[in-house]
Structure 1
Amino acid sequence: MTHTAVAQPTVRDVVGALDARFPRAWAEQWDRVGPVLGDPDAPVRTILLVVDCVAATVEEAVAAGADLIVANHPLLLRGVSSLWPETSKGRLVHRLINAGVAVYTAHTNADVASPGVADALAARLDLVGLRPLVPAAPDSPAAGGGRGAGRIGELATPMSLAELTTFVARRLPATTGGVRAAGDPGRVIRTLAVQGGAGDSFLGAAAAAGVDAYLCADLRHHPVSENLAGGGPALLDVAHWATERPWLDELAGWLRAQFPVTALVSDLDTDPWTVHAVSGK
Structure 2
Amino acid sequence: NLFDLLAPQLPLLPQWVKAKAQGVVCDGVHFQVDWEGRQRHISLTMNWVAPDKLMATLGDVTEWMLGQQRDKAATQKLLDERAAQVLSANQEMESVLNALPMMVACWNHDLTLRFANRTYADWFQRERKSMAKLPLAEILGMSQLRTSTPYIQAVLSGSPQSFERKSDGPTPGAVRYGLIQYLPDIQHGNVQCFYELISDISSEKQSRLALAASETLLRRAGRLANVGAWAIDLRRRTLFWSEYMYTLHGVGVDFVPTLDNGLLFYSAEDRVLMNQAITDAIENRSTWDLEMPLNTADGRQ
Do the structures match in fold with TM over 0.5?
A: no
Provide the TM-score with structure 1 as the length reference: 0.20
Q: Which has the higher helix share?
A: 2
| Structure with the largest fraction of strand | 2
Indicate the structure (1 or 2) with the bigger Cα radius of gyration: 2
- Using CA pairs under 8 Å that are at least 6 residues apart, name the structure with larger relative contact order, 1 or 2: 1
Relative to the length of structure 2, the TM-score reads 0.19
